[in-house]
Structure 1
Amino acid sequence: MSEQVETTARPEAAPDGEPLVVVRGLRKVYRTGPKEVVALREVSFEAYPGQLVAIRGRSGSGKTTLLNQVGGLDRPDSGRVLVAGRAVTELPEAGLLELRRDVIGFIFQSFGLIPVLSAAENVGVPMRLTRTPAAEREERVRMLLAMVGLEKHANQRPYELSGGQQQRVAVARALANRPRLLIADEPTGQLDSGTGRQIMELLRAVVRSEGVTALVATHDPNLISLADTVLELHDGTLTLTPAPATT
């Protein structure tokens, strides 16, 4: 049996004293015929409101698998995940859809924008799904685009924007329904180092201003200094490493 590693990712002063994310004994095994690959080995950690947590590790270390378990996009073989007090690993599909709609915002490496929609329309999509009144939706779209520095690009479509601008739209969209948790899987993977750092700085600013929790998978060592806590995965085993001092 694998040794359980329990890691607590907690800032010096958590706003409400309670973790938003609690992971206990998470294990995930992928099977292809007789071959087994252990993606997560008894992973445990906590993350608190107002905290940016970086998850690093080489390709194949289990970063995406871990984020998928926390976000309810996949189920573990054993272990438990709680987000905002809800047992993600025990929710039925309808409950998971509600959680992902109302509590969690996702940001992906590939941006995931709808090509035929403008930046403003892309940001507004999650609010359309929750039937937010049009006036309220339009006002929040304006506010979010201003927050990410794209208020002058509201009517442009993704192909008219740079990669960094597209990812800023994706960040704004992820915030549309006021999530309590942001999950970002290699959000700077397609960007140059300078633009990637700008996106991470934006995420850190959002965490501070909105009081959300952010779990960000990254392979870029230059971005680790922007995190409050660093979780490191090696072949599915999690360890806690001190976050470098910010400059």
Structure 2
Amino acid sequence: MSEQSTGHAATAVADGPPSGDMVVVEDLRRTYGSGDTAVHALRGVSFTVPRGELVALKGRSGSGKTTILNLVGGLDSPDGGRITLDGTDLAGLGDDDLLAMRRDRIGFVFQSFGLIPILTAAENVGVPMRLRKVPPREREERVQLLLALVGLADHAAQRPGELSGGQQQRVAIARALANRPVLIIADEPTGQLDADTGLAVMELLRAVVRSEGVTALVATHDAQLLALADRVLELRDGRIVSDT
């Protein structure tokens, strides 16, 4: 069932200068295992993601897309190379600073939605702000704004099990925006959705990038969805083979 993307935020929430690169990746390398069984997930990958753009990563399973997302998101560490996010070199951050970076500056959207089943849509969106101890009134106002942004203002009291797959992913996008991130990282965000719903969710993500002034790095294999990106990086065997 197709779902239409709706809404724009009233104000932009981007931090920092409006131009330049949000993400700078230089000669990134990552190997899992050692010896004859070593898997070279990334072999010297370099690219930039300009502020305010939606850049897509495409490639077959095992090409290195998820590894890049995990490294840029601070969920894993590279064996070599450098990642600069919003002017900060991730290699210079300790565990606490990386945690704060992920909590305050990055919004994550996963294929599996990752919502908490016992919480309502509104409560799920509010979780990141609770972790930051945002005052209740401010938190509630932002939850209402974000649910309206993703077209779910009338579904605030429903739990994930009462929502369609497309609606759940919309809640996940709203949650990713809760703490006003500068970067959204999405790993196959439409992987569990039918074609029409997936396209609607991707169109919403693109609209969010525009209206909220954020940057997005999205892994997807769907050619129809790739057409909505500002740029597409194709990976093969841990290397970028095209940049269009």
Output the TM-score relative to the length of structure 2: 0.91
Contact 1:56 1:218 in 2 (8 A): yes
Q: State the alpha-carbon separation in 2 of the partners of residues 66 and 159 from structure 1.
A: 31
Q: State the alpha-carbon separation in 1 of the partners of residues 35 and 189 from structure 2.
A: 33
Report the equivalent of 2:72: 70
Aligned residues: 228
Report the equivalent of 2:237: 235
Equivalent position SS for 2:76: coil
Q: State the alpha-carbon separation in 1 of the partners of residues 121 and 133 from structure 2.
A: 19
Report the equivalent of 2:181: 179
Report the equivalent of 2:205: 203
Aligned-pair CA distance for 1:89: 2.7
1:150 aligns with 2:152: yes
- For structure 1, the 5+ residue unaligned runs are 1-14, 243-247
Report the equivalent of 2:87: 85
Once the two structures are superposed, residues 94-118 of structure 1 have per-residue CA deviations (whole angstroms, 9 ceiling, x without a partner) of 0100100111000000000000000
Q: State the alpha-carbon separation in 1 of the partners of residues 155 and 35 from structure 2.
A: 50
Q: How does 1:92-241 map to 2 (within 5 A)?
A: 92-241=94-243
Report the equivalent of 2:31: 29
- The structure 1 segments of at least 4 consecutive aligned residues displaced by more than 3 Å after TM superposition are none
Q: State the alpha-carbon separation in 2 of the partners of residues 138 and 17 from structure 1.
A: 31
Aligned amino acid, residue 138 of structure 1: E
Q: State the alpha-carbon separation in 2 of the partners of residues 33 and 233 from structure 1.
A: 24
Q: State the alpha-carbon separation in 2 of the partners of residues 133 and 55 from structure 1.
A: 37
Aligned-pair CA distance for 1:17: 3.1
More relative contact order in 1 or in 2 (CA 8 Å, sep 6+)?
2
Aligned-pair CA distance for 1:56: 0.3
Q: State the alpha-carbon separation in 2 of the partners of residues 238 and 185 from structure 1.
A: 17
Aligned-pair CA distance for 1:144: 0.2
Query: Identity of paired residues, percent?
Result: 66
Aligned amino acid, residue 196 of structure 1: G
Q: State the alpha-carbon separation in 1 of the partners of residues 140 and 132 from structure 2.
A: 14
Q: State the alpha-carbon separation in 2 of the partners of residues 17 and 49 from structure 1.
A: 6
Once the two structures are superposed, residues 129-184 of structure 1 have per-residue CA deviations (whole angstroms, 9 ceiling, x without a partner) of 00100000000000000000001000000000000000000000000000000000
Q: State the alpha-carbon separation in 2 of the partners of residues 43 and 106 from structure 1.
A: 22
Report the equivalent of 2:6: none
Q: How does 1:48-67 map to 2 (within 5 A)?
A: 48-67=50-69
Q: State the alpha-carbon separation in 1 of the partners of residues 200 and 152 from structure 2.
A: 14
- For structure 2, the 5+ residue unaligned runs are 1-16
Q: State the alpha-carbon separation in 2 of the partners of residues 135 and 181 from structure 1.
A: 25
Q: State the alpha-carbon separation in 2 of the partners of residues 193 and 206 from structure 1.
A: 20
Report the equivalent of 1:18: 20
Once the two structures are superposed, residues 189-242 of structure 1 have per-residue CA deviations (whole angstroms, 9 ceiling, x without a partner) of 000010000011001001111111100000111111100000110010013332
Q: State the alpha-carbon separation in 1 of the partners of residues 172 and 136 from structure 2.
A: 20
Contact 1:107 1:171 in 2 (8 A): yes
Aligned amino acid, residue 210 of structure 2: R
Aligned-pair CA distance for 1:87: 1.1
Contact 1:108 1:187 in 2 (8 A): yes
Equivalent position SS for 1:226: coil
Q: State the alpha-carbon separation in 1 of the partners of residues 54 and 80 from structure 2.
A: 26
Aligned-pair CA distance for 1:33: 6.2
CA RMSD of aligned residues (A): 1.1
Q: State the alpha-carbon separation in 1 of the partners of residues 232 and 151 from structure 2.
A: 28
